[in-house]
Structure 1
Amino acid sequence: MNNTGLTRRQQAIAPISAFTALGDLPKLKLVLEEGLKAGLTINDIKEVLAQLYAYLGFPRALNGLGTFMAVVNERKERGIVDIVGAEANPLPAGKSRLELGTEVQTYLVGSPVKGPVLDFAPAIDTYLKDHLFGDIFGRDNLDYMDREIATLGALAGLDGVEPQLMSHFNISLNIGLTEQQLKDVTDALENSVSKAVAQRATSALAKVLASRK
């Protein structure tokens, strides 16, 4: 197993997501600055914050984007030139968003996703496949590992969503993030956010690791 930890750039993602979830904009501003210093590009962070609307709603995501816009403008006024980074390429031609999203979701989870809740409310199944995994995860300017780290940080910042947090720890392991790298995520949350948020993530990760042995 690859025991190499997360890069500084990757470690910066989870606190940004967690403070966006918590709605703590002054502290979000600080970790956004740290993220840029750690190697995240402007477009990396914009993509993370835009993705979070799917988990946190438009109000939190828009507040995050507004805070980030202010950070970028303030740094520009101080003469700091931040790397803009890559834009997303168009989604693959000849494939619907639903087809793409179904493929992406199946890859991330490791098998086709079914369940009683999705049978009970088929519309949410379509939204997940077509929009979250097609429209959003289908954008190629962030890789799946970065997107999962962002999702873990956001869900750790929310109370009462342990099943979803555990699901995304499972996905993270499925796509190649190691146990050490996921512990780095929880460490980043403890060092930059709070012990309570880190403990939520640590507890969910421990349950996932136990279930996979």
Structure 2
Amino acid sequence: MSITVASKKYHEKMFPGYRSSFLETDPEFIERFDNFAFDEVVNQDDLDDKTRFMAILATLLGCQGMDEFRAMLPAAMNFGVTPVEVKEIVYQAVDYLGIGRVFPFLKITNEVLAEQGVELPLPGQATTTTENRLEAGEKAQMDIMGDGMRGFWKSGPEESRHINTWLTDNCFGDYYTRTGLTYQQREMITFCFLSAQGGCEPQLTSHAGANMRIGNDKAFLIKVISQCIPYIGYPRCLNALHCVNEAEKKV
């Protein structure tokens, strides 16, 4: 078996002192997977390790990769993703995946943080109240997506207008306004949630455009997509690339 030196070094940074049992049971697979994921892919571009692992965690939430999320969370922390940032990624996932899919990940996160000696609960990151979350959410929408989002919360047919209101006061007012992550980081993880779960191409195209608008340009998004290929495969990543190309035409 010939696992490259670069792959071995990266794996050791992720999991110091750990030797996978797959080396014994599935040596040919591990040779090809590790050499691809931990050498070829990570050395494809200049995306920093912390951003890479934030994208990986968000992607694993999106594709429901619970076992891999549990394995990669300590590795993400080894590369500088803080407990607060981890929690913010998980919290924001509720808006795009729903609590039914996020609940197991919240439990896993708490278990891993406890194993790492992190005291819970973490310091609060909320900046809004019940009274101002709608106003703050609208401002966040406009900051990210442009002035065209002004008044979005009261737009649309009367029978479904409440959903637009919830998008403003709940999705943006409750979550995007929190500290712990920047707008750029929040839009990047949203892009990962949407690309990993599939079937959300209209929303993925919209958020690809939002990413570009706030500084996560096309080249950056392609780097993110590339780093996620080992975790969600080619079809969803190619769909994401198509959405980026479509969004670029509209920005």
Query: Which TM-score bucket, shorter chain as reference?
Result: 0.7 to 0.9
Rg larger for:
2
Q: Does 1:10 align with 2:81?
A: no
2:178 partner SS: coil
Normalised by the size of structure 2, how large is the TM-score? 0.72
Structure 1 length as normaliser, TM-score? 0.84
Task: Judge conservation of contact 1:151–1:168 (CA < 8 Å) in 2.
Answer: yes
Match of 1:123 in 2: 162
Whole-angstrom distance in 1 between the partners of 2:62 and 2:142: 26
Q: Answer yes or no: is the 8 Å Cα contact 1:9–1:35 preserved in 2.
A: yes
Structure 2 counterpart of 1:72 = 113
**8 Å Cα contact 1:86-1:141 kept in structure 2:** no
Query: Per the alignment, do residues 55 and 118 of structure 1 end up closer, same or farther by CA in structure 2, a change over 3 Å counting?
Result: farther
The structure, 1 or 2, with the larger RCO (C-alpha pairs under 8 Å, 6+ apart) is 1
Alpha carbons 2:126, 2:174 under 8 Å: kept = no
Matching residue within 51, 57, 62 for 2:103: 62
2:224 aligned with 1:188 = no
Q: Which runs of 4+ in 1 moved over 6 A?
A: none
For residues 155 and 72 of structure 2, what CA distance do their matches in structure 1 show?
36
Give structure 1 stretches of 5+ with no counterpart. none
Deviations 1:166-201 (A, max 9, x none): 111100011111222111110111144322332221
Amino acid at match of 1:48: I
Q: Which runs of 5+ in 2 are unaligned?
A: 1-44
Contact kept, 8 Å, 1:48 with 1:150, in 2: the verdict is yes
2:221 partner letter: L
Q: CA deviation at 1:48?
A: 0.7
Give % identity.
Answer: 24
Q: How far, CA to CA, are the matches of 1:118 and 1:196 in structure 2? A: 35
1:118-152 Cα shifts (integer Å, max 9, x gaps): 51211011101111111111112211111111111
RMSD: 2.6
